[in-house]
Amino acid sequence: MKVVVTGSAGFIGSAVSIYLLERGDEVLGIDNINDYYDVNLKLGRLERVKAYDKFTEAKINLEDKEKIFETVSKFKPQRVINLAAQAGVRYSIENPSAYVDSNLVGFCNILESCRYNEVEHLVYASSSSVYGANTKMPFSVHHNVDHPLSLYAATKKANELMAHVYSNLYGLPTTGLRFFTVYGPWGRPDMALFLFTKNILAGKPIDVFNYGNHRRDFTYIDDIVEGVIRTLDNLPEKNSEWDSDMPDSASSFAPYRLYNIGNNTPVELSRYIEVLEDCLGKKAERNLLPLQAGDVPDTYADVEALVQDVDYKPNTSVETGIRTFVEWYREFYKV
């Protein structure tokens, strides 16, 4: 197939692109290579992807409507995977306009491009952060998610609503994936595992929020990629049993689906740090702090729907995942 992947220099986007290219698909990668974090890391990921003959690079901002339309129309993809977004819960408190531009305006441009180019399936990144003030565990796609705790989360919830409109009005099959704390080699340096590793090796203290008591459904990158590709290949259908008196938020009378994509095995942050210490052979000095604004105490994904529909099977333990990350980190940064 011909597949557009936005965020192709990103953590998940580069890994998804490589998977598609390895199986013989043609990929157009769209990324603006911004400096939200280390550009050299993004360029390093991109070099891995550019090694494949069937990869085409396009350096564009999602909010540049004309360039997005022109580029997508020329490529004529069958399917689109939208992974580009302004990421980060805490950064959204400091720079809200960046999230409006990329996550709302940019996503609208992707939807319009899919509509006018008769794309067969749009798969897009949502986030576990949409669960916001929800406390019932595990988080289910069938739960109400109307109380986000950050602008980042609100933009991801908005993406789900926008996608539904296009599924309804134009019959565009759309699938949203709510990612749960993705980690692994080539990961984002603003994420906990990266920050912890850097500081522990440098002999500096690590900031441990919520005093290390919160739990995260840490999901290894290979398990995430497998889920994304299986979802891409499984077009959503209309739910003939959808009932407006008892509406299911995960499906619709339109070709629309939402899934959680996580490990289904939450781990306490303090345990996560212990595993990292073992892999590094060095103890961390912990700076225990309260929960940050906009953050949630726990995440735990109910992935049953994804298991049933695409046979999704996350199977990477944090012990294996962190060890692989540490090996990559030492090699990449020569430490």
What is the phi/psi pair of residue 293, to 5°?
-60, 135
How far apart CA 225 and CA 310 sit, in angstroms, is 13
Secondary structure of 210-246 in the HEC alphabet?
HHHCCEECCEEHHHHHHHHHHHHCCCCCCCCCCCCCC
- Torsions phi, psi of 289, nearest 5? -135, 160
> What is the phi/psi pair of residue 298, to 5°?
-140, 150
Does the annotation count 152 as an active-site position? Answer: yes
Separation of alpha carbons 151 and 226, rounded Å: 29
Give me 307's structure tokens: 């298991």
Catalytic residue among 152, 220, 259, 300: 152
Size (the chain), residues: 335
β-bridge partners, 288: 208
Q: Which residues are identified as catalytic?
A: 152
